[in-house]
């Protein structure tokens, strides 16, 4: 029987943070969402993990139900949010699992607080390095990574789009719309508005521009489980797929202790698409002692 989470709040680093405590016991796993997402992206993974571990999913600064100040979106501030949050909830040496940008927060945290994490799980994340793209400058990154505009889109229209997309990916796709809708406020006129403001979204992109994972990997002392998603296609790999494979190989070479498990036949939002695969991959490596290395 799946756990029933508690939605809770605590103060950390001068702001109020929302989190979902999924209960469980044993090793604590702290789950971090990606850019413009919320803790709800873990709603299908967390109850599986909570059978054997204590599980907490955090809404990071500017996201979900947490406070949304106009500053503090650099990695030093967001890492300090996480550090103080972990202390506030009374957790010692958790496993930090970060999806997408959440993975980059995790590696910055592990460098800033080298004794605090027992291990990292980077779920299709932890490798953002916009400035390494020779065709981009900071303004190009801001333009290319800016969020879609949802002005005038009603909640019914949006839910219809989500159901159509997810039904094409998974058999029970209609169960995913609530997870995606959690990224938005539903306004009085029934239109939607992103919980992460455009201004704060761009502040995070600016911080990612100055973030260089290859410089951080050698400084991470805890074991790191790399969990990149990919879809195998016929024919020669695309340039993006080649760059992705090179990025993972570079991480493997630079990290002190690491292992890569490719999440096959998976899209970027794999915690929503294939939650059982994500949960079992993390759980298996906890059970086999990988994070005790």
Q: What is the pLDDT of residue 173?
A: 60
For 246, the token pair is 């090179």
How far apart are alpha carbons 51 and 168 in whole angstroms?
Answer: 30
Residue 242: Cβ-neighbour burial (10 angstroms; 0-12, 13-18, 19+): exposed
User: Is 172 contained in some domain?
Assistant: no
pLDDT on residue 3 = 67
H or E, element range at 113: none
Query: How many CB atoms within 10 Å of residue 5?
Result: 21
In terms of Cα–Cα distance, which of 63, 75, 59, 71 is closest to 21? Answer: 59
Query: Which pLDDT score is estimated for 1?
Result: 41
What is the structure's pLDDT at 238? 77
Q: What is the pLDDT of residue 42?
A: 98
**Domain membership flag for residue 258:** yes
The pLDDT, as a whole number, for residue 244 is 86
Q: Any residues with CB less than 8 A from the CB of 164 and at least 6 apart, and which?
A: none
Residue 52 lies inside a defined structural domain of this protein:
yes
The verdict on residue 19 lying in a domain is: yes
76 occurs within a structural domain: yes
Which domain range does residue 261 map to?
6-134+209-292
Burial bucket for residue 106 (CB in 10 Å: 0-12, 13-18, 19+): buried
110-163 pLDDT per residue, tens: 999 999 999 999 999 999 998 888 889 999 999 999 999 999 999 999 999 999
Taking 90 as the threshold, does the pLDDT of residue 88 lie above it? yes
In the chain, the number of structural domains is 1
Residue 153 contacts by C-beta under 8 Å, 6 or more apart in sequence?
191, 192
Read off the CATH number of the domain in which 116 is found. 3.40.50.1820
- Sheet containing 28-32: give its strands across: 6-12, 15-23, 54-58, 28-32, 95-99, 119-123, 224-227, 258-260
Q: Which residues contact 248 (CB under 8 A, 6 or more apart)?
A: 127, 226, 228, 260
Mean pLDDT of 227-242: 81
């Amino acid at each position: 029987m799946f756990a029933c989470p508690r939605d809770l709040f605590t103060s950390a680093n001068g702001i109020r943070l929302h989190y979902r405590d999924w209960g469980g016991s044993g090793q604590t796993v702290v789950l971090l969402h990606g850019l413009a997402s919320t803790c709800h992206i873990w709603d299908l993974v967390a109850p599986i993990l909570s059978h054997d571990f204590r599980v907490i999913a955090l809404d990071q600064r500017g996201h979900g139900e947490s406070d949304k100040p106009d500053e503090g979106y650099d990695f030093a501030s967001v890492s300090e949010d996480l550090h103080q949050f972990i202390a506030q909830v009374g957790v010692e040496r958790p496993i930090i699992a970060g999806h997408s940008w959440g993975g980059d927060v995790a590696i910055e945290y592990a460098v800033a607080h080298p004794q605090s994490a027992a291990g990292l799980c980077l779920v299709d994340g932890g490798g953002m390095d916009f400035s390494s793209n020779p065709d981009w400058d900071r303004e190009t990154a801001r333009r290319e990574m800016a969020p879609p505009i949802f002005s005038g889109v009603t909640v019914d229209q949006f839910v219809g789009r989500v159901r159509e997309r997810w039904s094409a990916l998974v058999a029970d796709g209609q169960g995913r719309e609530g997870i995606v809708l959690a990224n938005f406020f539903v306004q009085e006129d029934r239109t939607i508005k992103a919980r992460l403001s455009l201004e704060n979204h761009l502040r995070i992109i600016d911080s990612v521009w100055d973030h260089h994972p290859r410089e951080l990997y050698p400084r991470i002392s805890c074991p790191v489980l790399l969990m990149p998603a990919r879809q195998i296609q016929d024919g020669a790999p695309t340039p993006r797929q080649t760059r992705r494979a090179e990025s993972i190989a570079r991480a493997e070479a630079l990290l002190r202790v690491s292992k890569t498990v490719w999440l096959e036949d998976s899209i970027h939002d794999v915690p929503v698409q294939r939650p059982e695969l994500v949960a079992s991959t993390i759980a298996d490596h906890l059970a086999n002692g990988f994070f005790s290395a």
